[in-house]
Structure 1
Amino acid sequence: MQDLARLVATEDVRRVMARYVYNADHHRWDDLAALFTPDAPFTASAVDGSVQARMTGRDEIAGQLKSRNHPDSVLVHHLYSSEIDFESEDSATGVWAMEDVIARSANSPGEPTGMHGYGHYRVRFTRQEGHWLIAGLRITRLRLDWTY
């Protein structure tokens, strides 16, 4: 891959992740799911490595995220220090350090009202018809702080 093509592709991949967190923060679950390939896996792990959520494909991703996030919740996601490697002109992997904050206004007694998490997004990308899409996404957690 030539230097200029690599720079353009790097920026395109970064913009996919920027759209991902923007859509998450604004509860635009269908738009977020559209950033994935039709059969992409999405996995979120707890600090101990156990799987908290596993979804496959756009419909399941949008559906589970809609059901897990109350419309009145406030979501804030930050991405830091991306590392992007290209396997070919149409295939890449990336790792982003991340931080997310969730504040819930509706919860049952004894349930947490919020969460502040830290970890990494580990992402596989593919370029199809000139557009980069998420071919797989895994969230790994380093720390979760709950508020009650």
Structure 2
Amino acid sequence: MTEAEKLAAASEIHALKARYFRTMDMKDWAGLEATFAPDLVADFRESTGQQDESQLTHGAAAYVAKLAPILQHVQTVHHGHMPEIWIEGPDHATGIWAMEDKLWVQDGSPLPFKWMHGYGHYHERYVRVGGDWRIQEIRLSRIRVEVG
């Protein structure tokens, strides 16, 4: 790949991650699912600050079906910062994003807290599907989680 092609691919991945954050916060579940490759591996076992084996999910549809009811009664704000993107070939890339999220839990939510403020990193693998970049693997590691 030329440097121009690598820069274009990195720019497309930046836009993909922006759609991921926006669709999650707007509860656009179809839009969120479209950011993932169908064979997604979603590893959120460390996302609460503790190891939770139930938070490993295979498949984009299964992941969104699991996430949507949890966040139904939660207002969320997610931000991604300082991406490090490595283009490994015309159809494969990896990346790490610093992240911050805030959650405000409303009545009716299954979550055991009223609010959460988290910091960490997304570790991702990307693949081109039908000419468009998609998240194929996503893992969230936390640095700090504050809950109340």
Equivalent position SS for 1:38: strand
The within-5 A match list for 1:51-70 is 51=53, 53-70=55-72
Amino acid corresponding to residue 112 of structure 2 in structure 1:
E
Task: Tell me which residue corresponds to 2:10.
Answer: 10
How far did 1:121 drift?
Answer: 0.5
| Distance in 2 of aligned mates of 1:139 and 1:26 | 20
| TM-score, L = length of structure 2 | 0.90
Task: Tell me which residue corresponds to 1:29.
Answer: 29
Amino acid corresponding to residue 117 of structure 1 in structure 2:
G
The within-5 A match list for 1:1-148 is 1-44=1-44, 45=46, 46-51=48-53, 53-71=55-73, 73-106=74-107, 111-147=112-148
How far did 1:5 drift?
Answer: 0.6
Identical positions, percent: 32
| Distance in 1 of aligned mates of 2:51 and 2:10 | 29
Give the superposed CA RMSD: 1.8
Deviation per CA, 1:56-85, whole angstroms, max 9, x where unpaired?
1122111111121124x2100010100000
Q: Which runs of 4+ in 1 moved over 3 A?
A: 48-52
| TM-score, L = length of structure 1 | 0.90
Runs of 5+ consecutive residues of structure 2 not aligned to the other structure: none
Deviation per CA, 1:63-118, whole angstroms, max 9, x where unpaired?
111121124x210001010000011111000000000000011158x931011010
